[in-house]
Structure formats: structure tokens, C-alpha cells
């Protein structure tokens, strides 16, 4: 069972992939990665890098997060998992890592805002008239 929010989200991705009867290879081709990378994403080990996570969520029509707390949590989880998977010599200094994390959060908020605007634009402006 997923233990972190990141694992939960990627569990949803796997469920959608299986529901659509898509192979790991097919999803890998869609995003230009190997089947093993897709399998790793589904275990949130590591998550898709950068904005690719949101591209994956868009592809599987999984909604983004409702408020800022889940966004902060998943971006932080993703960063921790990503940095932990790097060799010690390749990890950025903590100040730079924090800067990358803040940029990823800003990007996530922007994408959430775009999604909200699209939903509002698609919503009817007035209530439907009652049927007689």
C-alpha cells in the first residue's frame, strides 16, 4: 500500500495504465523512456523528473491536487526521492536543492492554475433551465 502521497499518485497512474490495457513499453514510448523507467515511476522510485510528472498525470487524466498542501507534499517527496537516488558526488548543495524545490513548487502551482482556469472555462455560465 502506498505510504507517501507521491506513491499514492503513482499508484493511480499504474491503475489507469492497467485499466486502459497499456503496456509499460507503450507508456515508455509516449514519454520517450524505457519500460523500466515507467515501472520505477509507478513505484515512485524515482518519480518522473520535472514537469514530466504533470505530463504523465495529464496523459492518464488524473487530476492535480486540490490545495497547496498536497502539491507541496508531492513535490517535496519527489525531490527527496530523486536526490536520494543520486550518488553523493552528484547531489546539489542544499541551498541549490532548496532553490530547485521552490521552482518545482512554483511550476506545480502554475499548472494547477491553468487546469482550474480550463475547468472554469468549460463550465456552463448559467444554470440550465428546468425541463417542462
27 confidence band (pLDDT: 50, 70, 90):
very high
Backbone angles phi, psi at 97, to 5 degrees: -60, -40
The Cα 31–Cα 117 span in angstroms is 26
Instruction: Considering only residues 120 and 41, tell me which one the structure prediction assigns the higher pLDDT.
Output: 41
pLDDT tens-digit series, residues 53-83: 778 888 988 876 544 556 677 677 767 767 7
Model pTM above 0.85? no
**Residue 46 clears pLDDT 90, i.e. is over it:** no
Considering only CA atoms, which of 112, 119, 97, 116 is closest in space to residue 53?
Answer: 112
Backbone angles phi, psi at 21, to 5 degrees: 60, 40
> Rounded mean pLDDT of the chain?
75
Amino acid at each position: 500500500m502506498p505510504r507517501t502521497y507521491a506513491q499514492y499518485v503513482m499508484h493511480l497512474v499504474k491503475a489507469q495504465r492497467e485499466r486502459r490495457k497499456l503496456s509499460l513499453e507503450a507508456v515508455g514510448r509516449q514519454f520517450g523512456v524505457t519500460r523500466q523507467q515507467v515501472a520505477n515511476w509507478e513505484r515512485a522510485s524515482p518519480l518522473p523528473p520535472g514537469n514530466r510528472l504533470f505530463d504523465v498525470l495529464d496523459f492518464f487524466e488524473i487530476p492535480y491536487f486540490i490545495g497547496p498542501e498536497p502539491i507541496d507534499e508531492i513535490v517535496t517527496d519527489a525531490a527527496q526521492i530523486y536526490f536520494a537516488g543520486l550518488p553523493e558526488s552528484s547531489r546539489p548543495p542544499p541551498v541549490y536543492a532548496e532553490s530547485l524545490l521552490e521552482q518545482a513548487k512554483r511550476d506545480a502551482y502554475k499548472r494547477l492554475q491553468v487546469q482550474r482556469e480550463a475547468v472554469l472555462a468549460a463550465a456552463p455560465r448559467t444554470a440550465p433551465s428546468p425541463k417542462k
